[in-house]
Amino acid sequence: MIQVIKGNFIFTKEKESFEVCENSFMVVDNGVIVSLSKNLSEQYDRVTIEDFGDRLIIPGFVDLHLHASQWPNRGVGYDEELLPWLNKYTFPLEATFKNLEIADQHYSSFIQNLINVGTTRACIFATRHLEATRLLISKLKDSGIGAFVGKVNMDRNADESLVENTKDSINETLDLINEDLSNPDPLVHYMLTPRFVPSVTPELMTELGKMAEKYDLPIQSHLDENLDEIAWVNRLHPTIPSFAQVYEHFHLLRSYKTIMAHCIHMTDEEIRLLKDRHIYIAHCVASNSNLSSGIMPLRKYLDNDMLIGLGSDIAGGHTLDMRENMVLTIQASKLYYTTHHEYKPISLSEAFYLATKGGGSFFGKVGSFEKGYEFDALVIEDNPSDESVIRRLERFIYTGTPENIVRRYVRGKRMEKQ
């Protein structure tokens, strides 16, 4: 199916600057971008043009790290740091997802809001519960959003209401993998989701590493978020030299297929390891501020050509809106710069790149409007003025709301608000 879309297109082919195509025509064939130009070739004369007039059209937002089950807890308990916050707020909430009715209610609200804020692709942690995870996967498939999603694996160091039996964790994970393989969805895929090193026994990590290789699966987890967490990992694995090396040891660092959230306190050796292995970093700035974790040295990683996207990290982060996460990313980089003058602040185009093409590349050709990219897009309605398109985008990012988003596409298909 051919689509022709007209409007003011903005995107970041490179992170250093915006590409602007005003009053242009985009041709999309079966969800994939064929061309973007000022004039429309005659061969498309018979195609009805979706004309968005003076509105802005930007790539959909990509959220590289979040916990769907923690949606009800956004904005709660931020006077604590990571480990007490997990025990006091997060784990008790996640334990309630044993009840499918509760899970259904929270996951419905979560997906509605994810669509509302303009996220078109996301990497999502469920909970450790098989049935509730199945439900989340099913609801995501219905939503039209693109997602990687996984049942959390956690068989140590949690309350008995939440901790798993190792064998059950393995079997339930295999069940979900097989369901995904036997009934593949075009947009929603399974992702191995070991919570973080302190929550997963060596036995389970070993098995997950084997599954990853056997089924060629993507993996998501957490790394170097908090100093107490890192000290704990060192106590749990005293013979392995670093937190990142623990994942490496269990074959969980897969090239272009693993996402590690946070990565604030990495040693030079860990940075080298993640860079060599082509591991994605999910920068979760709101969470890192809320839980007093610190500022990730984003500029340092960008200068090092690492793979990076943004994550809302609901509910360590309080906002699902990638607009707000871009603003917080820029602000944190500026505050970091005031004490580290060698690392200049993140610019608007760089933040936009991270929230679109940077994270989008984990999904393939996603997050840009170049030829061959999947057409994930948001149509933005603002108060038209005589300002430049880039200035209007800047305003939307800093002061917009989800109400400014009047149309959403994922791989060419319109996604409806629920």
Residues that bind a second copy (CB under 8 A): 74-76, 78-79, 286, 289-295, 318-319, 327-328, 330-332, 334-335, 337-339, 345, 347-348, 391, 394-395, 397-399
By beta-carbon proximity to a second copy, the closer residue of 90 and 157 is 90
Separation between Cα atoms, residue 295 and residue 329, nearest integer Å = 9
Residue closer to a second copy (CB basis): 79 or 305: 79
Q: Residue length, the chain?
A: 418
Closer by beta carbon to a second copy, 44 or else 337: 337
Distances from the Cα of 382 to the Cαs of 128, 327, 353, 362, in angstroms? 42, 18, 21, 30
CB contact at 8 A, 259 and 306: no
Q: In whole angstroms, what is the distance from residue 181 CA to residue 184 CA?
A: 5
3-state secondary structure of 57: strand
Smallest distance from a second copy to CB 109, Å: 10
Sign of CA dihedral 323, 327, 330, 333: negative
Distance CA 140, CA 333 (A): 33
CB of 391 to a second copy, least distance (A): 7
Q: Which is nearer to a second copy, 217 or 327 (CB)?
A: 327
Cβ 95 to a second copy shortest distance, Å: 17
Do 390 and 364 contact (CB within 8 A), yes or no?
no
Least spacing, CB of residue 288 vs a second copy, in Å: 8
Q: Which of 231, 213, 139, 203 lies closest to 177, judged by CA?
A: 213
Residue 79 CB, shortest distance to a second copy, in Å, is 6
Task: Output 118 or 146, the one with its CB closest to a second copy.
Answer: 118
Nearer to a second copy, 288 or 356 (CB): 288
Q: Are 308 and 281 in contact (CB under 8 A)?
A: yes
* Cα–Cα distance, 194 to 177 (Å, whole number): 14
* The two three-digit tokens of residue 165, written as one number: 């039996």
**Min dist. Cβ of residue 228 to a second copy (A):** 12
